[in-house]
Structure 1
Amino acid sequence: MKWEQLLSLKRHGDISKRIRKEEDDTRLGFEVDYDRIIFSSAFRSLQDKTQVIPLSKTDFVHNRLTHSLEVSVVGRSLGRLVGKKIIEKYPYLSEIHGYQMNDFGAIVAAASLAHDIGNPPFGHSGEKAIGEYFKTGKGQHFKDKVTAKEWQDLIDFEGNANGFSVLTTSREGVEGSIRISYATLGAFMKYPKESLPKKPTTKICDKKYGFFQQDKAFFSDVAKELGLINNKSGNDIGFERHPLAYLVEAADDICYTIIDFEDGINLGLIQEEFALEYLIKLVKNGIDSKKYNSLTTKEDRISYLRALAIGSLIQDAVKIFIENEEDILKGEFPFALMDKSQYAAQMNDIIQISIKNVYQSREVIEKELVGYKVINTLLDKFCTAYNNKIEGNASNYDNLILKLLPERYQFQKEDVYNRILHICHFVSMLTDGKALQLYNTIESNKS
């Protein structure tokens, strides 16, 4: 892969090439990506979507929006630090093409900002709830009406693939959706493959999938423009990662490891003593003991250690990327950056504590159970009503249910797969609160 191709400014529908040297540096295309994402309704909805604790009203706890903003800040730092090294190594990128250090930061920041934009309500349990409605629930009867790959999209519903749809799927009057640059889309695509074959290799790029069957034509166009390396054969579609996707993933890994841990401490689910025991291993070379001991509140002490820990992990991720940059460009680095971190063991220890004390806490489990019931009910009611309407079998109840669909979802999809995915997309874009409100409306009005 070549950096000058990977940094493409092309957008959906462009008929002429965008040249970096011709860009207005006061409104750079990659920075426009960030702006378009942050002003989108899909991004705004993240303020009422679960990060760790579903439906929590606690001030301390991060939601998907605050998490995404923090990941974008870490991603920007990673991108700029890597960009500085890349420009120094390949000066022609600046001298001939006009690329600058901050371009890398802008791309990674924008992709990081969007990394959770396709996540359903109620956290990762929301993804599982959608998939299980089709795999083991009432949605099983659709199996014989779709292809194997379409069915896999449904039973293994994936927030990353849904995010690609959010960012790119056209609708009437809105071509290309948010229309962000192909470089940013490339950095966003952590898993540049379709849902089947599932986990064909142990490479990190094959861990999950990154696009639905409805989006494969545009996905392939983006991959071709960026010069991604094809790693599948026959009718299967898959590519090696865009190099900057490694940085987006690292930013997310750093933030959820440290900040979910911090949330657990602030909620009282993890004892403060664990912060010193576990975080000190990440910051022992940078901690100012006098400053730390002068902090009088738990929140300030944890914030100080968190900031130092994130700084240490950023520097380590940059070092790993630069050391392996040539292998990454050849598609021969099958790992997540933080898997190769000198702090990998410490990060894993922190994650295990978070799993035990936070992710598997009674509060989380109880609210995830509510989420399963809400999502299954909404999928069943809307899928049934939508299909009955298109097939001419709608009852009065079905018509009433469909009146609850927002205007942008009030159009017909002809084939069964696209109908079902249309409803899945609607449900996935609901906030936790709106999903619960819809559920209560439907259940309280059942005949």
Structure 2
Amino acid sequence: MNWEQLLSLKRFGDTNKRLRKEQDETRLGFEVDYDRIIFSSEFRSLQDKTQVIPLSQTDFVHTRLTHSLEVSVVGRTLGRKVGVKLIEKYPHLQTIHGYQANDFGAIVAAAALAHDIGNPPFGHSGEKAIGEFFKSGFGSQFKNQLKEKEYQDLCDFEGNANGFKIATESRVGREGGLRLSYATLGAFMKYPKESLPKRPSNHIADKKYGFFQSEKELFLDIAKELGLINRGNENNISYSRHPLTFLVEAADDICYTIIDFEDGINLGLIQEEYALEYLINLVRHSINSKKYNQLSTTQDRVSYLRALAINTLINEAVEVFLNKEEDLLNDKFTCALLDKSKYEAQINDIIKLSIKNVYQSKEVIDKEIVGFEVISTLLEKYTSAIINNLNQKASAYDKLILKSIPELDLKEGNSIYHKLLGVCNYVSLLSDSRAILKFKMIKGITF
């Protein structure tokens, strides 16, 4: 792979090549990507979606929206730091093509901003609920009516693939979805492969999948434009990651490692003395003891250590990226950047404590149970109504359900796969509170 292709400004529908040196510096294409994401309705819905603590009524616990904003800030810094060094290493990127160091930051920031845009309500339990609906629930009846990869898309419903769908799916008046640059879409794609085959692999890009069958052709066009390395064949679509994807992933890893931990402390799920010890182990080399000892509240002490920890891990991720840049360009780097960090042990200690005390806390588990019930019920009612309507067997109740969800595409020509995926996509875009309201309506619960 080479940076000239990887930094492509191409957008869906372009007939002429976009050149960086011809860009308006006050309205740079990669920055337009950021604007389009942040003003989209899909992004705004993240303000009421679970990050870790579902339906939390406190004002300091993160939602998907605040998490995404923080990841994008960290991502911008990562990209800019890397960009400075890459422009020094490849001066022709600037002198001939016009690229600037901040372009790398703009791409990573935009991709990071969108990284959770496809996640359903109720956190990762929302993905599991959709998958279980098709594996063993009401949706399993459709298995024999779908191609193998189509069915697998539904059984392993993946927020990353759904995010790619949201960013690129055409609809009337919005051809090409958000019409982001191919560089940003490439950086967004953590798992550039289809849902099948599942193959045992230590390569991080094989951990999940990144696009549904409905977006396969567009993905292939993006992969070709960016010059991603083909790791599969026509029956097994799999490509190398865009190198900047590793920075997007690092930004996410840094934020959920440190900030989810901070949320757990502020909620009282993690005792302060344990928390401070774990964070100090990570930032011992940079802590100002005099300043730290002047802080009188838990929140201030944790906030100070969090800022130091994020800065430490940013610098560490940049160092690993630059040391491994040639391997990244040749698809020979197969793990997350922070997996090669000298702070790996400290990071793992923090994550283990978060898993035990936060992710597996009673509050989280109880609300995930609620999420399973809500999502399963919505999927059953909506898929039943959609498929019955497709088969011209819609009952009066089905017709009422369809009137309540006019957003769904009800064109007769769509396949069962597109109908089912459309329902999943619709449910995934609901906020936590909106999903509960619709659940109550279907159950006849008075408000």
TM class, shorter-length: over 0.9
- Report the alpha carbon displacement of residue 409 of structure 1 after superposing the two structures with TM: 3.9
Partner amino acid, structure 1, of 2:36: R
2:194 — aligned with what?
194
Preserved CA contact (<8 Å) 2:161 2:209: yes
The 5 Å alignment of 1:24-63 reads 24-63=24-63
- After TM superposition, the structure 1 stretch with the greater mean CA deviation from structure 2, 340-349 or 61-70, is 340-349
- Report the alpha carbon displacement of residue 445 of structure 1 after superposing the two structures with TM: 6.6
1:398 — aligned with what?
398
Normalising by structure 1, we get a TM-score of: 0.98
Runs of 4+ residues over 6 Å off in structure 1? none
- 1:356 and 1:346 map into 2 onto residues whose CA distance is 16
2:369 — aligned with what?
369
Preserved CA contact (<8 Å) 1:199 1:207: no
- Report the alpha carbon displacement of residue 408 of structure 1 after superposing the two structures with TM: 5.3
Deviation digits for residues 80-139 of structure 1 (CA, Å, limit 9, x no counterpart):
000001000000000100000000000000000000000000000000000000001111
Partner amino acid, structure 1, of 2:263: D
Partner amino acid, structure 2, of 1:39: F
Deviation digits for residues 385-409 of structure 1 (CA, Å, limit 9, x no counterpart):
0010111000000001111104354
**SS across alignment from 2:65:** helix
Partner amino acid, structure 2, of 1:170: S
Preserved CA contact (<8 Å) 1:87 1:100: yes
- 1:199 and 1:288 map into 2 onto residues whose CA distance is 48
Preserved CA contact (<8 Å) 2:270 2:357: yes
Residue 118 (structure 1) aligned with residue 118 (structure 2)? yes
1:183 — aligned with what?
183
- Report the alpha carbon displacement of residue 141 of structure 1 after superposing the two structures with TM: 0.4
Preserved CA contact (<8 Å) 2:169 2:175: yes
Residue 351 (structure 1) aligned with residue 356 (structure 2)? no
Deviation digits for residues 230-265 of structure 1 (CA, Å, limit 9, x no counterpart):
001241111010000000000000000000000000
Deviation digits for residues 267-309 of structure 1 (CA, Å, limit 9, x no counterpart):
0000011222111111111100000000111111100000000
Preserved CA contact (<8 Å) 1:121 1:435: yes
The 5 Å alignment of 1:1-12 reads 1-12=1-12
- 1:189 and 1:198 map into 2 onto residues whose CA distance is 18
Partner amino acid, structure 1, of 2:247: L
- Report the alpha carbon displacement of residue 200 of structure 1 after superposing the two structures with TM: 4.1
- 2:27 and 2:240 map into 1 onto residues whose CA distance is 31
Q: Percent identity?
A: 68
Preserved CA contact (<8 Å) 2:408 2:426: no
Partner amino acid, structure 1, of 2:208: K
**SS across alignment from 2:244:** helix
Partner amino acid, structure 1, of 2:149: K
**SS across alignment from 1:254:** helix
**SS across alignment from 1:243:** coil
2:293 — aligned with what?
293
The 5 Å alignment of 1:147-296 reads 147-296=147-296
- After TM superposition, the structure 1 stretch with the greater mean CA deviation from structure 2, 85-94 or 273-282, is 273-282
- 2:411 and 2:368 map into 1 onto residues whose CA distance is 31
The 5 Å alignment of 1:361-440 reads 361-407=361-407, 409-412=409-412, 414-440=414-440
Partner amino acid, structure 2, of 1:423: V
- 2:134 and 2:203 map into 1 onto residues whose CA distance is 28
**SS across alignment from 1:394:** coil
Normalising by structure 2, we get a TM-score of: 0.98
CA RMSD of the aligned region, Å? 1.1
Residue 144 (structure 1) aligned with residue 157 (structure 2)? no
Partner amino acid, structure 1, of 2:430: L
Structure 2 unaligned spans of 5+: none
Residue 133 (structure 1) aligned with residue 133 (structure 2)? yes
Aligned length: 446
1:65 — aligned with what?
65
- 1:414 and 1:293 map into 2 onto residues whose CA distance is 64
- Report the alpha carbon displacement of residue 331 of structure 1 after superposing the two structures with TM: 0.8
- 2:420 and 2:288 map into 1 onto residues whose CA distance is 56
- 1:196 and 1:410 map into 2 onto residues whose CA distance is 28
- Report the alpha carbon displacement of residue 351 of structure 1 after superposing the two structures with TM: 0.6
- 2:39 and 2:161 map into 1 onto residues whose CA distance is 21
- 1:189 and 1:425 map into 2 onto residues whose CA distance is 18
- Report the alpha carbon displacement of residue 175 of structure 1 after superposing the two structures with TM: 0.3
**SS across alignment from 1:403:** helix
The 5 Å alignment of 1:271-350 reads 271-350=271-350
**SS across alignment from 1:246:** helix
The 5 Å alignment of 1:89-104 reads 89-104=89-104
Structure 1 unaligned spans of 5+: none
Preserved CA contact (<8 Å) 1:413 1:419: no
Deviation digits for residues 195-241 of structure 1 (CA, Å, limit 9, x no counterpart):
01124421011111000000000000000000000001241111010
- 2:163 and 2:182 map into 1 onto residues whose CA distance is 14
In 2 relative to 1, CA 16–174 (structure 1 residues): closer, same or farther, beyond 3 Å? same
- 1:259 and 1:242 map into 2 onto residues whose CA distance is 26
